A and B are shown apart, each in its own frame.
Chain A
Amino acid sequence: MEIQNTTNQGEATQSDVATNAVVTKKKILIIDDDENLTSVLVDKLNFSGFEADFSNDSTLGLQKAIETKPDAILLDVKMPNMSGWEVLEKLRVDSWGEKAKVIMLTSLDKPESVAHAMEEGSTVFIVKTNYTLDQVVDKIKEVLHV
């Protein structure tokens, strides 16, 4: 209970700051090889007041992340060439990427994937089929404290 209280307070102060400051759109980068999924996610995030960008290739996505420094990254686990875990590993080596907020996206729901996500220091883990778009947006807001 105590832990929940502190996070609630944390959220409150964060959103206070957001309303007091000039509203700048939070930048979200989506790295997922599935073009259909990225396109609907980009639309949803743009409608929900974010500035969404995407990459359908993991290597280019990693480059884009380090160049554009988004506020949060939605990262697909299963991608050709380089998997989401490898992207995350490489990202954590970067000085900025070390603290980047990453939300892992997956189609799998194996418990070990979740454990893996925790170990890798990723903040949230989303199983695509279990989440509605609204819930995805809520999760991003939760991670960004807005």
Chain B
Amino acid sequence: MNVKIKHLGISLLVIAFVTIPLYFLTPFLIDLFLNPQLYIKIGGFFNNYSVSDFQVLVLSILTYTSVVLIGYVAYLIATASTRAELVSNFQNQNLLASKFELEELYENAPVPYITINKDAEIRGCNKSALRFFGVVPEEIQTKNLFAYASDEDIELAKKINDFYEADVPINKQEIRLRTKNDDIKWVSLSIFLTKDAFTNEKNGLVTVFDITEQKQLDQAKTEFVSLASHQLRTPLATMKWYTEMLNSNQLGEMNPKQKEYLTKMYSVNTEMIDLVDILLNVSRIEIGTLSISKQATNISEIIDSILVELASQINKKKIVFNKKYGDTSFVVESDPKLLRIIIQNLITNAIKYNKDGGSVTIGMEKGFGIGQSSITVSDTGLGIPKEDQERIFSKLFRAKNVKDVGSSQSTGLGLYLVKSVAGALGGNISFTSEENVGSTFTLRL
């Protein structure tokens, strides 16, 4: 519309510039046409030409040309700006189109987006955010974002707010938010810092990923492990104590065959307890609920208590134990419970896969930094075949040469657990092994 008006104006201007000088020039031109002898005479044009007439002629021609020139320049300038405007209009339209596209993306994105001002008050949000909170735009605008934190996470919300105030972006912070219907939802919250285009004030773009379902699944898994650990272990503990009671002769003497059967029951039950323990620990590691509490841990005490526990197996196979460490006050900063799981598995393996009358050597070296202390368990047993060595720490993997030996006690979980737990403790496990000579496992802490 504007462009058309401008074109009309420019046309009128050009017409005016051409017609006005023509109006003044026309009488002279008519005079020239009707009385050419007044101006042109053969042999003496200038002689018969009056000064005033000549002046009028020159002036008129000059005026005419200059006016036409000015008009033309004005026309050029005017159309140039119109052209520029056309180009910029085209660019504006492109901008508008991409702005519209971005707005569509923002509005209809499946992730709730919220923009906040420097005081964490909500300036606006997209449809997904409205759906998430169950509100209309008027209800959410100008409210403080952190007022939506659930009661349990108020402290955490304050902390996040402090970070935001200190211009620290927030990256995937898990927090519980309360919606309008008082539903508590777990979200992964991020805040990107932006600046207002006009006032240059700090703003925040907030994304809230709903992770409630994921959390519920995690919770269900954790509950399962806790349930299984209670429900499976309780009857096993009961069985353990009943068989022990029967076997103790306190209820009357048993004949040797009865005693033998009871002893078998007892040892199978103990294996079952160990298996449940391993399964539970593997689940804990995989779910990520394995908790670590480090403290000063005396390793030789752990080793001694394990040897007491394994005494019957050691005696049965007539295994000779060598402790290659003088210092029994060997203390490391670690989790005793988890360290015990590692060492117990290593020693059990060293006994289980040993020859009758073989030997097991335990060594310790104390260092002064992370990865500088080490515990080694060596045996003179079956060893691990070369082709199986790469996969020995894999879950449910069992080396070829042990598949026939002690198949009832081997789960393929022991070394997997050892490696996982060692990793969780910030340690590292390695080994050297030769088939039919033996293996040496080294735990570095």
Q: Which residues of A contact B (CB under 8 A)?
A: 34, 36-37, 40-41, 43-44, 47, 78, 107-112, 115, 128-129, 132-134
Assess the A40–B293 pair: CB atoms within 8 A.
no
**A134–B244 CA distance with the chains assembled, in angstroms:** 9
| Neighbouring B residues of A34 by C-beta, 8 Å | 234, 238
**A78–B245 CA distance with the chains assembled, in angstroms:** 24
B337 within 8 Å of A by Cβ?
yes
Assess the A109–B277 pair: CB atoms within 8 A.
yes
Q: Which of B229, B237, B276, B277: most chain A CB closer than 10 A?
A: B237
**Contact partner, A108, options B229, B293, B335, Cβ 8 Å:** B229
| Neighbouring A residues of B273 by C-beta, 8 Å | 129
Assess the A44–B293 pair: CB atoms within 8 A.
no
**Known contacts A43-B245, A112-B291; A36/B230 CB under 8 A:** no
**A134–B308 CA distance with the chains assembled, in angstroms:** 14
B226 within 8 Å of A by Cβ?
yes
Assess the A37–B238 pair: CB atoms within 8 A.
yes
| Neighbouring B residues of A133 by C-beta, 8 Å | 241, 244-245, 248
Chain B 287-335 residues near chain A, CB threshold 8 A: 291-293, 335
| Neighbouring A residues of B292 by C-beta, 8 Å | 111
**Known contacts A111-B335, A134-B244; A128/B293 CB under 8 A:** no
**A110–B230 CA distance with the chains assembled, in angstroms:** 11
- Closest chain B residue to A128, Cβ basis: B237
- Closest chain B residue to A136, Cβ basis: B241
Assess the A44–B241 pair: CB atoms within 8 A.
yes
Assess the B237–A107 pair: CB atoms within 8 A.
yes
B178 within 8 Å of A by Cβ?
no
**Contact partner, B233, options A40, A128, A132, Cβ 8 Å:** A128
| Neighbouring A residues of B248 by C-beta, 8 Å | 133-134
Nearest CB in chain B: distance from A127 CB, A:
9
Q: Which residues of B contact A (CB under 8 A)?
A: 226, 229-230, 233-234, 236-238, 240-242, 244-245, 248, 250-251, 273, 276-277, 291-293, 335, 337
- Closest chain B residue to A38, Cβ basis: B238
CB contacts between A and B, total, < 8 Å? 61
Assess the A111–B337 pair: CB atoms within 8 A.
yes
**Contact partner, A112, options B240, B244, B276, B293, Cβ 8 Å:** B293
Assess the B291–A129 pair: CB atoms within 8 A.
no
**A47–B246 CA distance with the chains assembled, in angstroms:** 12
| Neighbouring A residues of B236 by C-beta, 8 Å | 129
Assess the A40–B335 pair: CB atoms within 8 A.
no
Assess the A107–B230 pair: CB atoms within 8 A.
yes
Assess the A107–B241 pair: CB atoms within 8 A.
no
Assess the A40–B234 pair: CB atoms within 8 A.
no
- 17 additional contacts, CB 8 Å, given A109-B277, A129-B273? A36-B242, A37-B237, A37-B241, A40-B238, A44-B241, A107-B234, A108-B226, A109-B229, A109-B337, A110-B291, A111-B337, A115-B293, A128-B237, A129-B240, A132-B240, A132-B244, A133-B248
| Neighbouring B residues of A128 by C-beta, 8 Å | 233-234, 237
| Neighbouring B residues of A41 by C-beta, 8 Å | 241
Q: Which of B236, B241, B273: most chain A CB closer than 10 A?
A: B241
- Closest chain A residue to B233, Cβ basis: A107
**Contact partner, B237, options A43, A47, A115, A129, Cβ 8 Å:** A129
Would you give 12 A-B contacts (Cβ < 8 Å), ordered by A? A43-B245, A44-B250, A78-B230, A108-B229, A111-B292, A115-B293, A128-B233, A128-B234, A129-B237, A129-B240, A133-B244, A134-B248
**A112–B292 CA distance with the chains assembled, in angstroms:** 9
- Closest chain B residue to A48, Cβ basis: B250
**Known contacts A128-B234, A129-B233; A111/B244 CB under 8 A:** no
| Neighbouring A residues of B251 by C-beta, 8 Å | 43
| Neighbouring A residues of B238 by C-beta, 8 Å | 34, 36-37, 40
- Closest chain A residue to B309, Cβ basis: A130
Nearest CB in chain B: distance from A137 CB, A:
11
Nearest CB in chain B: distance from A102 CB, A:
19
**A8–B310 CA distance with the chains assembled, in angstroms:** 27
- Closest chain B residue to A43, Cβ basis: B245
Nearest CB in chain A: distance from B223 CB, A:
13
Nearest CB in chain B: distance from A92 CB, A:
24
**A41–B240 CA distance with the chains assembled, in angstroms:** 12
Nearest CB in chain A: distance from B238 CB, A:
5
Assess the B230–A108 pair: CB atoms within 8 A.
yes
Which 10 interchain pairs have the tightest Cβ spacing?
A: A128-B237, A107-B233, A47-B250, A36-B238, A129-B237, A129-B273, A40-B241, A107-B230, A107-B234, A129-B233
| Neighbouring B residues of A78 by C-beta, 8 Å | 230
Q: Which of A34, A108, A128: most chain B CB closer than 10 A?
A: A128
| Neighbouring A residues of B335 by C-beta, 8 Å | 111
**A78–B234 CA distance with the chains assembled, in angstroms:** 11
| Neighbouring B residues of A37 by C-beta, 8 Å | 234, 237-238, 241
**Contact partner, A107, options B229, B244, B250, B337, Cβ 8 Å:** B229
Nearest CB in chain A: distance from B105 CB, A:
46
Nearest CB in chain A: distance from B354 CB, A:
25
| Neighbouring A residues of B276 by C-beta, 8 Å | 129
| Neighbouring A residues of B229 by C-beta, 8 Å | 107-109
Assess the B250–A40 pair: CB atoms within 8 A.
no
| Neighbouring A residues of B242 by C-beta, 8 Å | 36, 40
Nearest CB in chain B: distance from A39 CB, A:
9
